[in-house]
C-alpha cells in the first residue's frame, strides 16, 4: 500500500510542482488551452455566434486577472467556475443555444422588400401550402433570419431560388430528391432544401405526431424561427414556434399571419418602404 501511495504522491508532485514550474509544463498548458479555445470558437462559429467570442475572451482575461491578484486558491476558484458553468448549461442549454443563434443581427427587410413584393411572396406561399394540403403532400418550411446552425444548412442543398408556388410544390413533390427534408426560407429567397432538423425527443408528444412535426418542434426549440408543417397523412397544416404547435388546422389566414410576423416584424409604417 505504501508503494502505491508513494507512486500516487510522486505523480501529484510531478504534475502540480515539477511540471507546472518547468518550460515543458508551460508549453503543454499553452497547447491544451489553445486546443480548448480553438474548439470552443469553432463551435461558436458553427452556431453563428461569432459575436460571443469577445465576451468569452473578456471573461478569460477577467479570470486570469482574478487568479493573479486574488488571495483565493486559483484551483479551487477554477473548479467552482467550471461547476457553475456546467450547472447553468445543463439547466438552460436550450435557451443558451437559442440565445447564441440570436446574436446574429436581424436582417433589415426594409432595404430589400417593397409592400407589393412581400404581398406577392405571401400569396405564393399560401397558395403552395394550401395546394400541398389538398393533395396530402407532406412539407416542412422554416422561416429563418439566417440564425440556423450551419450544420442544418450543410445537411441539405443550397437552392437560392425565387419564392413561387410552383417552386415550393416542385421541391416537395413526393418523387423529388429533396422532398423529405426541410425547406429554409431566408427573406425573399428559398435558401436551402432537403435539410435535416433536430427532432424533439419529449415523451409527452402525441404518438400520432410524425417526424415532420417533431423536426419542426426541435428546430424551433434551438432557434427563434417559425415552421409551417403540412401533414402527409392528413393534409393538416400546423404553425410551430418556440417549441410548441401554435396553431393546428391552420387556414389561409393563419398562414398569412405567420408570414406577416416574419416579414413585417421589424418594419414600421408602410410609408417606410
Count of CB atoms within 10 A of residue 151's CB? 12
Residue extent(s) of CATH 3.40.1700.10 domains in the chain? 111-267
135 and 165 Cβ atoms separated by less than 8 Å: no
Instruction: State how far the Cα of 9 lies from the Cα of 123, in Å rounded to an integer.
Output: 74
64 and 29 Cβ atoms separated by less than 8 Å: no
The CATH superfamily of 111-267 is DNA integrity scanning protein, DisA, N-terminal domain (3.40.1700.10)
Show pLDDT as tens, one digit a residue, over the chain (273 residues): 556 666 666 655 555 555 555 566 556 666 766 776 776 676 666 655 566 667 667 766 766 666 666 555 555 555 556 655 665 555 555 555 555 555 554 455 545 566 778 899 999 999 999 999 999 999 999 999 888 888 888 899 999 999 999 999 999 999 899 999 999 999 889 999 999 998 887 666 776 678 899 999 999 988 889 999 999 999 999 999 988 899 989 999 999 999 999 887 644 333 333
Report the predicted TM-score, pTM, of the whole model to 2 decimal places. 0.63
Instruction: State how far the Cα of 164 lies from the Cα of 171, in Å rounded to an integer.
Output: 11
Amino acid at each position: 500500500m505504501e508503494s502505491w501511495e508513494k507512486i500516487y504522491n510522486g505523480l501529484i508532485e510531478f504534475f502540480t510542482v515539477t511540471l507546472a514550474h518547468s518550460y515543458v509544463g508551460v508549453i503543454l498548458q499553452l497547447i491544451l488551452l489553445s486546443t480548448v479555445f480553438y474548439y470552443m470558437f469553432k463551435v461558436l462559429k458553427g452556431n453563428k455566434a461569432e459575436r460571443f467570442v469577445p465576451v468569452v475572451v473578456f471573461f478569460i482575461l477577467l479570470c486570469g486577472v482574478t487568479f493573479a491578484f486574488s488571495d483565493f486558491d486559483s484551483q479551487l476558484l477554477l473548479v467552482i467556475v467550471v461547476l457553475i458553468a456546467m450547472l447553468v448549461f445543463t439547466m438552460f442549454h436550450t435557451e443558451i443555444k437559442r440565445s447564441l443563434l440570436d446574436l446574429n443581427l436581424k436582417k433589415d427587410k426594409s432595404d430589400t422588400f417593397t409592400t407589393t413584393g412581400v404581398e406577392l411572396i405571401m400569396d405564393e406561399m399560401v397558395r403552395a401550402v394550401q395546394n400541398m394540403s389538398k393533395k396530402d403532400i407532406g412539407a416542412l418550411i422554416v422561416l429563418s433570419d439566417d440564425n440556423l446552425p450551419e450544420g442544418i444548412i450543410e445537411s441539405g442543398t443550397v437552392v437560392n431560388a425565387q419564392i413561387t408556388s410552383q417552386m415550393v410544390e416542385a421541391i416537395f413533390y413526393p418523387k423529388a430528391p429533396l422532398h423529405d427534408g426541410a425547406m429554409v426560407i431566408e427573406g425573399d429567397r428559398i435558401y436551402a432544401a432537403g435539410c435535416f432538423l433536430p427532432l424533439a425527443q419529449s415523451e409527452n408528444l402525441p404518438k400520432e405526431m410524425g417526424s415532420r412535426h417533431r423536426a419542426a418542434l426541435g428546430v424551433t426549440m434551438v432557434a427563434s424561427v417559425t415552421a409551417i408543417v403540412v401533414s402527409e397523412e392528413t393534409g393538416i397544416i400546423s404553425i410551430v414556434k418556440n417549441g410548441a404547435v401554435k396553431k393546428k388546422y391552420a387556414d389561409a389566414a393563419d398562414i398569412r399571419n405567420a408570414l406577416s410576423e416574419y416579414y413585417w416584424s421589424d418594419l414600421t409604417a408602410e410609408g417606410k418602404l
